[in-house]
Amino acid sequence: MNKLTQFLTTAVLALAGAANVAHAAADQTLIQRGEYLARAGDCIACHSAAGKPAFAGGLAIDSGHGIIYSSNITPDKQHGIGAYTEQQFADAVRKGVRADGTHLYPAMPYTSYAKVSDADIKALYAFFQAGVKASSFDPPATKMSFPFNMRWGMGVWNYFFADTKPFVAQAGWSDKVKQGAYLVEGLGHCSSCHTPRGFAMNEKASNSGQDKFLAGGELNDWPVPSLRGLPRWSEAQIVDYLQTGRNQGSAVAGEMTAVVEHSTAHLQDADLQAVAAYLKTLTPVPPLGPAVKPQGKEETARKLTAAVNLSLGERLYLDNCAACHFVNGKGASRVFPELDGATVINADNPTALVNVILHGARTPSTDKAPSILVMPGFSRRLSDAEAAALATFLRQGWTNSADSVSERDVAKIRAKAH
| 65 assigned to a ligand binding site | no
| 266 assigned to a ligand binding site | no
Contact 106, 100 (CB under 8 A): no
| 262 assigned to a ligand binding site | no
Spatial CA neighbour of 417 closest among 359, 378, 367: 359
- Environment class of 175 (CB within 10 Å of its CB; exposed 0-12, middle 13-18, buried 19+): exposed
Contact 106, 162 (CB under 8 A): yes
DSSP 21-34: HHHHHHHHHHHHHH
Amino acid at 412: K
| 194 assigned to a ligand binding site | yes
- Environment class of 22 (CB within 10 Å of its CB; exposed 0-12, middle 13-18, buried 19+): exposed
| 189 assigned to a ligand binding site | no
Q: Is 296 helix (H, G, I), strand (E, B) or coil?
A: strand
The Cα 346–Cα 339 span in angstroms is: 10
The Cα 78–Cα 72 span in angstroms is: 10
| 43 assigned to a ligand binding site | yes
Q: Is 287 helix (H, G, I), strand (E, B) or coil?
A: coil
Amino acid at 8: L
| 79 assigned to a ligand binding site | no
Spatial CA neighbour of 285 closest among 226, 239, 330, 341: 226
Phi first, then psi, for residue 382 (nearest 5°) are -110, 135
The Cα 187–Cα 121 span in angstroms is: 10
Binding-site positions: 43, 46-47, 190, 193-194, 321, 324-325
Annotated binding site for heme c: 43, 46-47, 190, 193-194, 321, 324-325
